[in-house]
Amino acid sequence: MPAADLGIRPRLFYGWIVVATAFLVLFMAYGTQYAFGVFLAALGEEFGWSRASLSGVFSLYAFVYSIFALGAGRLTDRWGPRAVISVGGALLGIGLMLMSRVTALWQPYLLYGTVAALGMSTAYVPCNATVAKWFTRRRGIAIGLASAGGSLGTFALPPVAHLLVSHLGWRGAYVVFGAAVLVALNGL
């Protein structure tokens, strides 16, 4: 007799938990990445740095992230997604938190353009590779739902960053973002 006929609710397939976790990881990683524009304005205002020099920080970030994402799959195969995402989450979170301490233009290039970017490079590939392993049926929808976390984070977190910068200043906002990344990407 099927479980539904006995009044027993079937357990939730664990693959959907994996999808939800990947969604959250990508939400935080991509959301914090694309909140940089909010911080760019605040950094430029406080230090008098040009938009061009600060845009170089994000350009370096995108380059480093892209190059090191190539190896994220190999690291995931070797050490597993949890370890790779945890180490990357630590780098991303620490890089963001240390951004709250910058006083010279070279520091965002190091902390955001390199350290945070290395952390970000470990998010997308391990999440989607792991989701794909859990599904044969509905694989496309599962990967699509997980990936939507990145898009939703990109939409949702820049306004949150603006609100935090307005109330806590850009330094406090970076601490909050870094701590949130540390909790979200290492607490899973």
Residue 19 lies in a domain: no
Query: Of 31, 187, 154, which is closest to residue 96 (Cα–Cα)?
Result: 31
- Residue 147: CB atoms within 10 Å: 19
Residue 58 lies in a domain: yes
Across the chain, which distance is largest between two alpha carbons, in Å? Answer: 72
pTM, 2 dp: 0.88
* Residue pLDDT, tens place only, 163-178: 999 999 999 999 999 9
| Structural domain span for residue 151 | 26-186
Residue 137 lies in a domain: yes
Question: Do 89 and 119 form a contact (C-beta atoms < 8 A)?
Answer: yes
Q: What's 72's domain CATH number?
A: 1.20.1250.20
Distance in angstroms (rounded) separating the CA atoms of residues 14 and 57 = 39
pLDDT tier at 185, thresholds 50, 70, 90: confident
Residue 73 lies in a domain: yes
Residue 126 lies in a domain: yes
* Residue pLDDT, tens place only, 5-40: 566 666 888 999 999 999 999 999 999 999 999 999
Distance in angstroms (rounded) separating the CA atoms of residues 187 and 3 = 33
How many domains are contained in the chain?
1
